Chain A
């Protein structure tokens, strides 16, 4: 499959934080959820994709090009929504669009106007007067109005009401429907991804934990619950993370067959893990 986004061994160092050796790819026509706790490196990956920061090692390709050397061509094909959309607050949404418009080779003004109406963004209102949710809607309208091939969303659903959140997810699903466009969706609200992500990439402490399809995750990761007295070495070795309560332990396993063998004859519950389970338990000590 033709990847629209490809990272190979990408590394970036900051004082106090490093993103190390991150590799994953996103084929055209799919949605990839980028998950991880706060400070895991999600925003750094988003910035690398946008060329806002430069990798110190590794290779990064967006739509087949290097976002640093082919800066303009790459950004022309990306739509971006920042976690907290920051524009000049004294400008009206319509004025902002008139500033952004000339930069994009495929800007579609009727589409922008339709999106603004659909999202109920008051085009004549100053950006600084908009609520956080409406700012995100305005940023989404700007990002969608130039027929971007890759939509990069950094925590876009934060601050959105549930009704618009649901309709946004439906819109994104339709957006990738033609098989030409893709979405990279950074979030820690995993419920959004359960609904729409085809791929999930999980980073923690600047390292890639996994990147795979949602189906593969469902087949691989399971939550195990049982009596804490069952936690012997064999069980612990099969767990990727565990939380021990007074009456029961809850752990995450990527090896359900091994855990079934280890718990054979004992009372324990093994069920499919949600993304939140995977995020929560991965990295917890066993």
Chain B
């Protein structure tokens, strides 16, 4: 039944998932930038996963949620399928970027580097974090939740820029720098078995908790 639910989401939302295509134009450009090349791959998987998490919001918008929920499939299975779709979308985006790295003549990123275990694991960790945070939010608050969440991040970014540019508050960008340093450190550490184990455990726990919460929210939701 999970397979049917997965197939349903992929067929119903194929067009929506193609919405990630413009992102690849930026990826194609960024392949020539030594600093950005690796992060484009991670970013593509991240964005692909985010696109897939918005399927539930899209069903609200199209008013198809009630029709689909009347199919003989449990809401738990529907939610689990959403998580799988998000991973498939993220993985597909990652594969495309690897292929671009191999095919684009101006790419400074070698495809072989992108399929290194530690890069793949970093991508998995970040995409999982995005899925784990966004999925319950989308199920509970729909498209408005997505817009508010992403909008709040945008506003935070603008506020930090203003604080830095106009008031010289270096500490404002400190959080972002710390996040960046943390990602870089995690990437470096992901060739050590202990870090790999810790990262995979954290990812599994976050996804398990997120999925439980999403199922709880979905099962109690009136359509």
Contacts and interface: CB of A to CB of B under 8 A. Distances in A.
Contacts of B193: none
Interface in A82-111: 82, 84-91, 95, 98-100, 102-105
Given A52-B222, A54-B220, A71-B75, A87 B67 contact: yes
A225 interface: no
A51 B222 CA distance: 9
A99 B8 contact: yes
A72 B73 contact: yes
A99 B11 contact: yes
Nearest to A98: B11
B177 interface: no
Contacts, number: 68
Which 7 residue pairs across A and B have the least CB separation, nearest first? A75-B72, A76-B72, A53-B222, A52-B223, A102-B4, A86-B63, A80-B70
Contacts of B75: 71
Given A54-B220, A103-B4, A89 B70 contact: no
B70 A87 contact: no
B64 to A, nearest CB: 5
Given A95-B11, A99-B12, A72 B64 contact: no
Nearest to A85: B67
B175 interface: no
Contacts of B222: 14, 47, 52-54
A184 to B, nearest CB: 13
Contact of A99 (B7, B62, B63): B7
Contacts of A74: 72
A260 to B, nearest CB: 48
Contacts of A102: 4, 7
Interface in B119-135: none
Contacts of B1: 72, 103
Contact of A88 (B4, B7, B64, B220): B64
In this complex, the interface size class of chain A, counting residues with CB under 8 Å from chain B, is 20 to 34
Contacts of A54: 220, 222
A86 B72 contact: no
B69 interface: yes
Nearest to A102: B4
Given A90-B15, A95-B11, A100 B71 contact: yes
A86 B70 contact: no
Contacts of B73: 72, 75, 103
A25 B222 CA distance: 23
A9 B39 CA distance: 58
A71 B69 CA distance: 10
Contacts of A82: 66-67
A56 to B, nearest CB: 11
A151 interface: no
B201 interface: no
Contact of B62 (A76, A88, A98): A88
B66 A52 contact: yes
Q: Which of A52, A74, A95 has the most CB of B within 10 A?
A: A52
A78 interface: yes
A104 B72 contact: yes
Contacts of A52: 66, 69-70, 222-223
Given A14-B222, A54-B222, A89-B62, 17 more contacts: A50-B70, A52-B69, A53-B223, A72-B1, A72-B72, A72-B73, A72-B74, A74-B72, A75-B70, A80-B67, A82-B66, A86-B62, A86-B67, A88-B64, A90-B15, A91-B12, A99-B8
28 contacts: A47-B66, A50-B69, A52-B70, A52-B223, A71-B74, A71-B75, A72-B1, A72-B72, A72-B73, A75-B71, A76-B72, A80-B67, A82-B67, A86-B66, A88-B62, A90-B15, A91-B11, A91-B12, A95-B11, A98-B11, A99-B8, A99-B12, A100-B71, A103-B1, A103-B8, A103-B71, A103-B72, A103-B73
